[in-house]
Amino acid sequence: MRVIKVEETEIASWTRTLLAEQRVVAVQERDERFVFDELRQAEDLRLDHDVTLQPPLRYLLPEKEELVAFDMAGRYQPAESDERPFVLLGLHPYDVAAIRQMDAVFAQGVPDPHYSHRRALATMVACDVETPSSNVFAGTMGTAVVREGYDVLLTRIGRDYLVESRTGKGDGLLALFGDDVQEASPVDLRRREAVWQRNRQGLRQHELDCPPDALPRLLALGYNDELWQERSELCLSCGSCNLVCPTCYCFDVQDVVNLDMKSGKRLRLCDSCMLQDFAKVAGGHQFRLRRDRYRHRFYRKGLYMPERFGFVACVGCGRCIDSCVAGVANPVDVYNALLQRHPEAVEEPLEGESVASLGKALEALLGRSAGEVPTPVVVHPQATAVKPRREEPDPWLAMPRQEPATLERELEQLVAKDPYVPERATIVEKRAVTQHETFYRLRLDSGRSLGHQSGQFVQISLMGIGEAPISVSSGPTDEPDFEMVVRRVGNVTEALERLEPGAKVGVRGPYGTSFPMTELRGKDILVVAGGIGIVPVRSAIQEVLRHRSDYGRLTIAYGMRAPQDRLFGAEIAAWLDEPGVNILETVDHLEGLWHGRVGPVTTLLPNCGIEVGRTAALVCGPPVMYRYVLSDLVAMGMLESDIYVSLERKMKCGIGKCGHCQINGTYVCQDGPVFTYAQVRNLPEALQ
């Protein structure tokens, strides 16, 4: 680290040199507000801005970007990038803190090469706040001053600036001031300390009445508070609060066909969890109503992100407050109001009873197993102290410090493994199985086997249409073929129906958790399936039958709307011929020819003859089915940890990045779709 002192005029000439060498994106004035934009001339740079309209995150995660290029012959490849190294100039400390958070988010699990590529190309020049904005509260969030996450930091002390280099890249920028520069003296550094102290105390237009690390507790206690209903009634579901937020990163994915009609691109577009259709799924089922969407934004920032990543995902920039015409987006207002109703969140030490109730509330909201001791939530209000919950390497934070050649190589390798690029596959068999559902057998063109486990899903891609998550319906094998059954509900599923054997589709995955078939060896298996829910569990059924002697009795309780909706009829007859297999079926409505039972699937359970102590249940069906089936199984004496459910949510990325599939703080694409009932029993959004 090196700190030099320069005059204000030298910043202008240094910026000119920078501009001659690199692309510079910097803060500039537009119509009496401030924005980050391409800098054309050094004179346009402003370091005295209060806050920018959009966060600098948009230069690392653009509002719209190309993820994948494709052609109509079914070839997919990573989008070509002609981006060059650039300097992001004029970031306030809270935005630096936010970018540190995004680094952790996009590096977690399956790293996102597009974000990481830009992040590695960016040199971050931060500047301490000179003019506080009218709604900034970074002081209260611990992000008014940062000591990490930037390459260069500029701090105005009187008529001069101190310029600190923090990294190798920063040293390069400092060198552009020339050799004849003055090192900062101890007095200069003390004056900088005074600026920091002023900002820590001054950037507090709103004051949180509790330390930020008390927010997870507060939110765990306040989930069912009336406040969410009261405040959400004014919310217009416009999404502005998300779109201006430096820590909101949810996205949508859409295909666009080029004018040549032979090629196209898959785009990623900024999205907002406040918009009405964000979590809406097939059949119009709406997993979050307006109150739930409003609450979700505050929970994401104050509870789910701290639990997953170790930081509160609000850095106090105040942009959401500026942008909300309804006046209900202010996090401090909301958290303080909730605190008034739940003062016990900050009372120390907690009494025995409150500890127990807090433990229960946290367990409920974070989806821990019953009886599992809640691990303390580690929260770092200083967003710079990012601590991922799972210990994982953090390659992107280290990258900018690498030698350019190594960096280039690593980026190439990463792009070659781009998780958004589907593999090409061929439809080798297709047949209608009901009026609305079609069976497909697919083969990966590479000839490799999919390598899936029972219960996992793939993202099926159709060029120019989009992607849809579909369960693999066949059991794991070494063969290159796998099977699925698809119900036509919208764009992708209907376009798939128009394809014939020989046609090409894209496949990503397999993704998600699976039924633990190895652990379940020796047990009896009860499958409870409703409607199309038989599709994912068929994979487990096939596995049990393929290794018949490894498992005990197999009982299948299968309910469907009407006889004509029955899937796998011929196969069900063959399953019955296997030793130790019992199949019970029922229809909701008696239409057409049916000699079996009539009634919901739960009517099959009392007569299914299972020995609860030695049985594991695999349950999959429409949302409405779960509550009844699960409570009946528990009433029969089954342990919640012996019941496995497969849940469905809207999905866009499949790799824990887009935010669409969240159930409270749980990501269905990564933490599911297969969960034990114990894991989701207390998640309010799971089984509604």
Ligand X SMILES: Cc1cc2nc3c(=O)[nH]c(=O)nc-3n(C[C@H](O)[C@H](O)[C@H](O)COP(=O)(O)OP(=O)(O)OC[C@H]3O[C@@H](n4cnc5c(N)ncnc54)[C@H](O)[C@@H]3O)c2cc1C
H and E: helices and strands count for the chain: 22, 27
Question: Given the complex with ligand X, which of 91 and 620 has the nearer CB atom?
Answer: 620
Query: What is the nearest approach in angstroms of ligand FES to the Cβ of residue 64?
Result: 17
Query: What is the nearest approach in angstroms of ligand FES to the Cβ of residue 653?
Result: 4
The pair of structure tokens assigned to 409 is 């190589």
Using CB under 6 A, which of the segments 407-415, 417-425, 619-627, 649-657 binds ligand FES? 649-657
Question: Given the complex with ligand FES, which of 281 and 326 has the nearer CB atom?
Answer: 281
The pair of structure tokens assigned to 509 is 């995955």
The pair of structure tokens assigned to 437 is 């559902």
Question: Given the complex with ligand FES, which of 533 and 656 has the nearer CB atom?
Answer: 656
Asked if 513 and 669 touch (Cβ cutoff 8 Å), the reply is: no
Tell whether residue 18 is a contact of ligand FES (CB under 6 A). Answer: no
Question: Given the complex with ligand SF4, which of 199 and 461 has the nearer CB atom?
Answer: 199
644: left (phi over 0), alpha (psi -120 to 50) or beta: beta
Asked if 600 and 509 touch (Cβ cutoff 8 Å), the reply is: no
Half-sphere exposure of 166 (CA within 13 A, CB side): 16
* DSSP annotation string for 288-350: --HHHHHHHHHHIIIIIHHHHHSS-S-----HHHHH-TTS---HHHHHHHHHHH-GGGG-SSP
Question: Given the complex with ligand FES, which of 301 and 319 has the nearer CB atom?
Answer: 301
Query: What is the nearest approach in angstroms of ligand SF4 to the Cβ of residue 364?
Result: 24
How many CB atoms sit inside 10 A of residue 521's CB?
13
Round to whole Å and give the CA distance between 90 and 38.
12
Query: What is the nearest approach in angstroms of ligand X to the Cβ of residue 495?
Result: 8
Binding partner at 654 among ligand X, ligand SF4, ligand FES, none, C-beta below 5 to 8 Å by kind: ligand FES
| Cα–chain center distance at 247 | 12
Question: Given the complex with ligand X, which of 150 and 287 has the nearer CB atom?
Answer: 287
Helices (H), 3-42: 8-21
Question: Given the complex with ligand X, which of 506 and 673 has the nearer CB atom?
Answer: 673
Question: Given the complex with ligand FES, which of 279 and 383 has the nearer CB atom?
Answer: 279
Taking alpha carbons only, the member of 459, 368, 591 closest to residue 67 is 459
φ, ψ (nearest 5 deg) of residue 401: -90, 0
Max Cα distance, the chain (Å): 95
Round to whole Å and give the CA distance between 152 and 172.
10
Binding partner at 657 among ligand FES, ligand SF4, ligand X, none, C-beta below 5 to 8 Å by kind: ligand FES
Tell whether residue 492 is a contact of ligand FES (CB under 6 A). Answer: no
Query: What is the nearest approach in angstroms of ligand X to the Cβ of residue 645?
Result: 12
Query: What is the nearest approach in angstroms of ligand SF4 to the Cβ of residue 24?
Result: 25
* DSSP annotation string for 355-415: HHHHHHHHHHHHTPPTTPPPPPP---SSTTS---SS----HHHHGGGS-HHHHHHHHHHHH
Round to whole Å and give the CA distance between 440 and 431.
7
Round to whole Å and give the CA distance between 211 and 169.
35
Give me the residue label for tokens 């490849």.
Answer: 77
Query: What is the nearest approach in angstroms of ligand SF4 to the Cβ of residue 377?
Result: 19
Binding partner at 667 among ligand SF4, ligand X, ligand FES, none, C-beta below 5 to 8 Å by kind: ligand FES
Binding partner at 490 among ligand X, ligand SF4, ligand FES, none, C-beta below 5 to 8 Å by kind: ligand X
Question: Given the complex with ligand X, which of 564 and 582 has the nearer CB atom?
Answer: 564
Query: What is the nearest approach in angstroms of ligand FES to the Cβ of residue 112?
Result: 11
Interface with ligand FES (CB under 6 A), residue from 651, 683, 686, 687: 651
Round to whole Å and give the CA distance between 312 and 39.
32
Helix, coil or strand: residue 636: coil
Round to whole Å and give the CA distance between 359 and 363.
6
φ, ψ (nearest 5 deg) of residue 683: -80, 110
Binding partner at 235 among ligand X, ligand SF4, ligand FES, none, C-beta below 5 to 8 Å by kind: ligand SF4
Binding partner at 337 among ligand SF4, ligand FES, ligand X, none, C-beta below 5 to 8 Å by kind: none
The pair of structure tokens assigned to 247 is 């820590």
Query: What is the nearest approach in angstroms of ligand X to the Cβ of residue 228?
Result: 23
Binding partner at 678 among ligand SF4, ligand FES, ligand X, none, C-beta below 5 to 8 Å by kind: none
Bridge partners, 681 (sequence order): none
Q: What is the contact surface with ligand X in residues (CB under 6 A)? A: 280-282, 284, 457, 466, 468-471, 484-487, 489-493, 532, 535, 648-651, 673
Question: Given the complex with ligand X, which of 275 and 377 has the nearer CB atom?
Answer: 275
Asked if 444 and 506 touch (Cβ cutoff 8 Å), the reply is: no
Question: How far from 210 is each of 206, 225, 318, CA to CA, in Å?
Answer: 12, 18, 18
Query: What is the nearest approach in angstroms of ligand X to the Cβ of residue 659?
Result: 13
Query: What is the nearest approach in angstroms of ligand SF4 to the Cβ of residue 234?
Result: 7
Round to whole Å and give the CA distance between 663 and 666.
5
Taking alpha carbons only, the member of 113, 174, 63 closest to residue 399 is 113
Round to whole Å and give the CA distance between 213 and 217.
8
Question: Given the complex with ligand X, which of 280 and 441 has the nearer CB atom?
Answer: 280
Binding partner at 328 among ligand X, ligand FES, ligand SF4, none, C-beta below 5 to 8 Å by kind: ligand SF4
Taking CB under 6 A as the rule, which mask of x and - marks residues 653-672 in contact with ligand FES? xx-xxxxxx-----x-x---
Query: What is the nearest approach in angstroms of ligand X to the Cβ of residue 469?
Result: 4
Binding partner at 326 among ligand SF4, ligand FES, ligand X, none, C-beta below 5 to 8 Å by kind: ligand SF4
Binding partner at 656 among ligand X, ligand SF4, ligand FES, none, C-beta below 5 to 8 Å by kind: ligand FES
Binding partner at 332 among ligand FES, ligand SF4, ligand X, none, C-beta below 5 to 8 Å by kind: none
Q: What is the contact surface with ligand SF4 in residues (CB under 6 A)? A: 235-241, 244-247, 274, 301, 314-320, 323-324, 326, 328-329, 331
Tell whether residue 111 is a contact of ligand FES (CB under 6 A). Answer: no
Bridge partners, 68 (sequence order): 78, 266
Question: Given the complex with ligand SF4, which of 144 and 245 has the nearer CB atom?
Answer: 245
Give me the residue label for tokens 């970031």.
Answer: 91
Binding partner at 210 among ligand FES, ligand X, ligand SF4, none, C-beta below 5 to 8 Å by kind: none
Question: Given the complex with ligand X, which of 215 and 468 has the nearer CB atom?
Answer: 468
Binding partner at 470 among ligand FES, ligand SF4, ligand X, none, C-beta below 5 to 8 Å by kind: ligand X
Round to whole Å and give the CA distance between 254 and 239.
19
Binding partner at 320 among ligand SF4, ligand FES, ligand X, none, C-beta below 5 to 8 Å by kind: ligand SF4
Residue ranges binding ligand FES (CB under 6 A): 651-654, 656-661, 667, 669
